[in-house]
Structure formats: structure tokens, C-alpha cells
Amino acid sequence: MPASYRDTDYMYSSARLRALETKMLGREGCERLLMAGSADEMIEQLAEFGYRPSKKQESAGRVDRDATLLSALSDAFADVAEMLPQPHIVRVFQYKYDCNNIKAALKARARGIDPRGMILPLGTLDPGVVTQAVEAGDFSALPEHMAKAAGEAADAYLKTKNPQKIDIILDRACFADMLDAAKASGVPFVIRYVKVKIDLTNILMCIRLWRMNAGDTGRALFEDSIIDGGELEREFLLGLYDRGESRLAEALAATAYSSFAAAIPAGAPTSHIEREADRFIMNMVREVRWLPFGAEIAAAYLIAHEYGLMNVRIIMAGKEAGLAESAIRERMREMYV
């Protein structure tokens, strides 16, 4: 049953989160990271924004970079879960990491390798629970839709030897679990966020297939891969594919995504389109900044942390590749604060 949402139930959490927002990584912090001389210097600066330096167990004194980068998001999940009256909002954002871990465990098992290097400790389930479920073939501990999909994905891989089948089946199930959690929260903003993520994921999938020049084969793959639950219906999306990329803006003109389509110049690289999709989401999230209190503030706080982590990785990768600051800045996502 959906929760009965009252924004006054979130007055305490909203006040705490507004205080925490002042200490989180934002636009100014990202600019400081851009000016850092090295990745190690970046790690030192990140401590000011809640990233806890983690040490490698096998090498005393050396910083575990991945664990350090994940620490702020992990702490944000724990903090928000502790202060909210119900857990559904946090689960919306954690389920993607459960999905990642299930896919990693299934693929690792198929290849006979250790999945630990591909596992992220950010889901609703301990990574050990996920790997044990896959090894035992008992998926009952997993979130409802992903539990059903895991067995289906494993069977599909055995039949086709195509790891893409695992991704398609589990991505669809992950979004179904996210949407269920959003609806259970009773918070319209959170429901809208998941629906927008579904729609943009489908649109981006369509664009990638167009650019593969896959024709009817691509259309069949698109039809098989469409994620249901967004505002754009399956038939509309198939019609979108049939129109072709040159008519993207025209096709989306009467939808909520008209501004997204209009911001994409002809022939724009896929990376540019992905940034525009993230910009669309962040513009939606920034509307929350004007609310005095409400569950929306908790959701926005978690989204802000995810985008912060994304930018840290972009900056760090750019520096290690020797890119100029201007080139790195072009790849960065917009921030909440």
C-alpha cells in the first residue's frame, strides 16, 4: 500500500539535510578539484566534503581510492535512512546497486571468475547475500522484481551465451522495483523522478540503436529492451524509433521532454546527449531547493550526492588522461548546490 505522504512528517529531516547540504560537494568544490595537481591531492581535498579516506588492507597506509570515493554516497544513504519515517525513498536509489551486483555475480559465475572487483557496497543487500544467492540459485532474498528476473536472466544466458540478455532482463526488473518503492513512498516527486529516469533511459537506448544503423534488427532489440512504467507508452516509443533521429525533436515536442530534445544539436555525440539527459534531471531536482520541508529534500540530497560522485570520477579520470581543465569541464554534470 502506498504511504500516506504528509510533508510535515519531514520537518526534522529537512532541517538536518539543509544543514548537511552546506558541507556537501557542489559547483565550487568541483572547481577546486579541477585545480588539484594530482588524484592524490584530490583525495585530500575530498575529505572536506565528507569523503572518508579508506586504507587498503593489503597495503598499510595507502588510500583505497574506490572505497574513499564511495564513502560519501554510502554515508548519505545511511544518514537519510536513519532520519526518515519510512525507507522507501532510500531504496529507490539503492536498487540500482543491487541490480549491478546481481548482474556482476551472474556474469562472473558464467565466466568462472571472482565477482568482488565488480561489486559495489551501496545496495539494500550486503554484497555477500547477493553472491550467495547467485551461487545457490536461490533468489528469494532479492528485491521482488529482481528476484524473479535473476533466474530468468541466468536461464537466458545459458540459452544464448549473450551477456546483454542479463542486462536487459535485470534493468527492466530494477526499474520495476524502483517504481514500486517510489509509489510506496507516496511522494509525487519521487514517483516522477523514477518515471523520468525510465523515459530518458528508453530514449537514449533508441538513439544508440539508431546510430548502430541496425534497422529492423535494432527495432526488434529496442522492442525487447523497452522499460515499462514511464510516462511514454511502449507504442509511442516504437513510433519514435520508426521516425528516426532526424525527427527526434518533432516526435518529443508535445511531451515533457521537448526541452531535452531541443537542446540536442544534429549529430551531437552520444556523450553530449547523455549530459543533456542529466541536465534535464538536475533541472527538475533543483525545483526542490525552494521547498521549506518535505520528503523531496531527502531525494534531492541523495541525487546530489550521486552527481557529485559522478563528477569526481570524471575529474579524476580526466586528470589521469592528461586532459585540459576545459575538456574535463565539458564532461562534467551540473550540480545541485
Give the pLDDT confidence score for residue 4 in this predicted structure. 59
**φ, ψ for residue 66 (rounded to 5)?**
-60, -45
User: How far is residue 231's CA from residue 134's CA, in Å, rounded to a whole number?
Assistant: 33
Give the pLDDT confidence score for residue 56 in this predicted structure. 63
Asked whether the beta carbons of 315 and 43 are under 8 A apart, the reply is no
Q: What is the dihedral of CA 55, 58, 61, 63, to 10 degrees?
A: -40
Q: Where would I find the H helices in 137-257? A: 144-160, 163-185, 188-211, 215-225, 234-243, 248-252
Of residues 174, 229, 165, the one with CA closest to residue 202? 229
The residues spanned by each domain of the chain are 94-182, 187-271
Asked whether the beta carbons of 1 and 280 are under 8 A apart, the reply is no
CA count, 13 A, side-chain hemisphere, 63: 17
> What residues contact 157, with CB distance under 8 A and at least 6 apart?
106, 110, 163, 165, 166
Give the pLDDT confidence score for residue 2 in this predicted structure. 52
Q: Is 161 left (phi over 0), alpha (psi -120 to 50) or beta?
A: left
Give the pLDDT confidence score for residue 1 in this predicted structure. 40
Digitized pLDDT (tens) for each residue of the chain, 337 residues in all: 455 567 778 899 999 999 999 999 999 999 999 999 888 888 889 999 989 887 665 555 577 888 888 999 999 999 999 999 888 999 999 999 999 999 999 999 999 999 988 999 999 999 999 999 999 999 999 999 999 999 999 999 999 999 999 999 999 999 999 999 999 999 999 999 999 999 999 999 999 999 999 889 999 999 999 999 999 999 999 999 999 999 999 999 999 999 999 999 988 999 999 999 999 999 999 999 889 999 999 999 999 999 999 999 999 999 889 999 999 999 999 999 8
Q: Is 213 left (phi over 0), alpha (psi -120 to 50) or beta?
A: left
Q: Which helix (DSSP H) or strand (DSSP E) does residue 179 occupy? A: helix 163-185
Task: Give the CA distances from residue 110 to residues 127, 210, 266, 283, in Å, rounded to whole numbers and listed in that order.
Answer: 18, 30, 41, 41
For 28-85, the DSSP string reads: HHHHHHHT-SSHHHHHHHHGGGT----B-TTSTT-B-HHHHHHHHHHHHHHHHHHHSS
Q: What is the dihedral of CA 123, 127, 130, 131, to 10 degrees?
A: 150
Task: Enter the C-alpha cell of residue 327.
Answer: 575538456
**Fold category of 94-182 in CATH:** V-type ATP synthase subunit C fold (1.20.1690)
User: How far is residue 250's CA from residue 215's CA, in Å, rounded to a whole number?
Assistant: 20
Of residues 281, 246, 282, the one with CA closest to residue 264? 246
Measured in residues, the chain has a length of: 337
User: How far is residue 251's CA from residue 198's CA, in Å, rounded to a whole number?
Assistant: 17
Asked whether the beta carbons of 334 and 278 are under 8 A apart, the reply is yes
Asked whether the beta carbons of 300 and 285 are under 8 A apart, the reply is yes
Asked whether the beta carbons of 190 and 3 are under 8 A apart, the reply is no
Give the pLDDT confidence score for residue 337 in this predicted structure. 87
